A and B are shown apart, each in its own frame.
Chain A
Amino acid sequence: MNAPNKSGWKPEMSLAESGFLGGPVTTTGNRGLMLEEPLLFEIGRADVTGVDLPDVDPAAPTRLGGLARSEAIGLVGLTEPETVRHYTRLSRQNYGIDLGFFPLGSCTMKHNPRLNEKMARLPGFADIHPLAPQSSVQGALEVVHQLGHWLCKLTGMPAVAMSPKAGAHGELCGILAIRAAHEARGDAREVVLVPESAHGTNPATAAFAGYRVEDIPATPEGRVDVAALKARLGPDVAGVMITNPNTCGLFEKDFREIADAVHAAGGYVYCDGANFNAIVGKVRPGDLGVDAMHINLHKTFSTPHGGGGPGSGPVVLSEALAPYAPLPFIRKDAEGSFYLVEEENREERGPSFGRMTAFHGQMGMFTRALTYMLSHGADGLKQVAEDAVLNANYILRSMEDILHAPFGASGPCMHEALFGDKDFTNGLSTLDVAKGLIDEGYHPMTVYFPLVVHGAMLVEPTETESKAAIDQFITAFRAVTERALEGDEALKQAPYYSPRRRLDETGAARKPKLAYEG
């Protein structure tokens, strides 16, 4: 019983192999109260179940006909306490924002205030059904409507589509609105321009929507090459997708000039708002000439993600694109009641391009995001952006004396600091630094993205970390960086202390094993 997991450490492993450096190897594979956990298939038994089901009466009528299963399918069973322990032990091997610093660049892994959770669990929000009569869920509809109102206010945009379920879904919403606007004019444009400094999902979105994607190079300082972009504009260009602040961690200061040029050429401007956290309360994208921008509620407005919850990606739209917004949307009637405009409201739906989701969006995330907004207030949201940028610059300036900062001279960074692997020796790479940070107890930063920087390391501390927590991270990050600069051979084997040693990522990609083989 409790045979150590075949894919993990084993009692017969040497000290070095097992990572039990300096201590005795245990017979169970456990390390003190950090418990090793086998796979379900290794501990389950076919004759055990945690549920007491009544015997099946062989004479009972069945509607399955010839489809009834005739033999056991070999699934293993566990008792209820074994099942609870299995998943609880696995959860202890997980790493999340509630456990520690999570500097994953481009992801905004900030603390999720518990007040959000309290509000989202109120029965009037948590226990309702999307098909409930609208008169019975007026409070929930008002939350969605009010959240949309504040998103429009914060972005300086006239309209919002609330239903997209995450960032990339929001991108698709915006691009489909752009496509619908062109098609309504009978203007068949084929190309979407995407700068190198944009998020990787942007070209994928444009291609998915049927556009041909063309790259626009970045300048040496890490921003869009405005001259190259302007030179490419023409009657075949449907629009551009620009991430601002961009993935080099920089504010695209020429955005207004770019937007004006795109509009003059008959195109639309999509802004990837995934990095809105850096400018919320400070810059209104509507003032920059944006036609569509998604907002990741799960980043900027602190709803849980990264395994902790679903995304939510409302899209704000300009006057030009607003008529094409997807169904459903919420309106308020003359008596102050809220109602949903859906397919059957033929007059009100206008030229909407259609529906992207079964229902109205991520209700739980809407409640959390509105709670976050109202509890912070306008001044608080502004401070969110200021502190996020301050924290990232603190890391940038605390590391750049030893770690290559390719855009360190391009002015302050936004909410993430970008480094490269330029001076590492002995074949050590960004990957080794990331693995070394795991040994230090940190989730690694984003690695090898953006592609414009060799061996990129993108660090995003967010505003919710204290100076003490960031100082501690910097100490660890500097220590691991020093090892990479000195060519420490041992770093190539990191991590040593995690529940699993370095995984064979190449093998997993080249020859994935997708089924348990016993």
Chain B
Amino acid sequence: MRYYTDEHEWIEVEGDIATVGITEYAQGQLGDIVFVELPEVGALIEQGKDAAVVESVKAASDVYAPITGEITEVNPALEEDPALVNSAPEDGGWFFKMTIADVGELDGLMDEDGYKAFLEEL
């Protein structure tokens, strides 16, 4: 099941691990991405707090944790090839995986249809 935040992160839940990245819309707005700073594996991050930084030719932006949890893995491919975030933002360009401290937090996020409707209002 995939959820979305109003800060344009996506979160894919598989069992008790969630994968997080930024959306197609977000990469389009940022433009060519040149650097991604990922969190430390083992870091505990609260929902809504800074988890990563993505830097494009236009600006540096924070990526927020969609839920509270512990970072279990980061995408090693992004260090060598940050352009993956542009070419495959919702697939090979994922940022990190995390545990799900509180399943209830997912209820506050949008599903795909909800996010599409949200984008149309922007």
Which positions in A face B, CB cutoff 8 Å?
A: 448-449, 451, 505-506, 509-510
State A451–B82 Cα separation when bound (angstroms). Answer: 22
Which positions in B face A, CB cutoff 8 Å?
A: 32, 34-35, 57-59, 82-83
State A487–B57 Cα separation when bound (angstroms). Answer: 22
A-B contact count (CB 8 A): 17
Identify 17 residue pairs between A and B in the complex whose beta-carbon atoms are under 8 Å apart, listed by A's number. Answer: A448-B58, A448-B59, A449-B59, A451-B59, A505-B32, A505-B57, A506-B32, A506-B34, A506-B57, A509-B32, A509-B34, A509-B35, A509-B57, A510-B32, A510-B34, A510-B82, A510-B83
State A448–B31 Cα separation when bound (angstroms). Answer: 11
State A509–B59 Cα separation when bound (angstroms). Answer: 12
> Which residues in A have their C-beta under 8 angstroms from that of B32?
505-506, 509-510
> Which residues in B have their C-beta under 8 angstroms from that of A509?
32, 34-35, 57
> Which residues in B have their C-beta under 8 angstroms from that of A451?
59
State A449–B57 Cα separation when bound (angstroms). Answer: 12
State A510–B83 Cα separation when bound (angstroms). Answer: 9
State A509–B57 Cα separation when bound (angstroms). Answer: 8
Count chain A CB atoms within 10 A of each CB in B32, B35, B58, B83 and give the residue with the most. Answer: B58
State A506–B34 Cα separation when bound (angstroms). Answer: 7
B87–chain A nearest beta-carbon distance, Å? 13
A504–chain B nearest beta-carbon distance, Å? 10
Closest to B29 in A: A454
> Which residues in A have their C-beta under 8 angstroms from that of B34?
506, 509-510
State A509–B58 Cα separation when bound (angstroms). Answer: 11
B77–chain A nearest beta-carbon distance, Å? 14
B70–chain A nearest beta-carbon distance, Å? 21
State A448–B29 Cα separation when bound (angstroms). Answer: 11
> Which residues in A have their C-beta under 8 angstroms from that of B58?
448
Closest to B61 in A: A451
State A505–B55 Cα separation when bound (angstroms). Answer: 13
> Which residues in A have their C-beta under 8 angstroms from that of B35?
509
State A509–B32 Cα separation when bound (angstroms). Answer: 10
> Which residues in A have their C-beta under 8 angstroms from that of B83?
510
State A506–B82 Cα separation when bound (angstroms). Answer: 11
B38–chain A nearest beta-carbon distance, Å? 17
B110–chain A nearest beta-carbon distance, Å? 20
Question: 7 extra interchain contacts, Cβ-Cβ under 8 A, other than A506-B34, A510-B83?
Answer: A448-B59, A449-B59, A505-B32, A505-B57, A509-B35, A509-B57, A510-B32
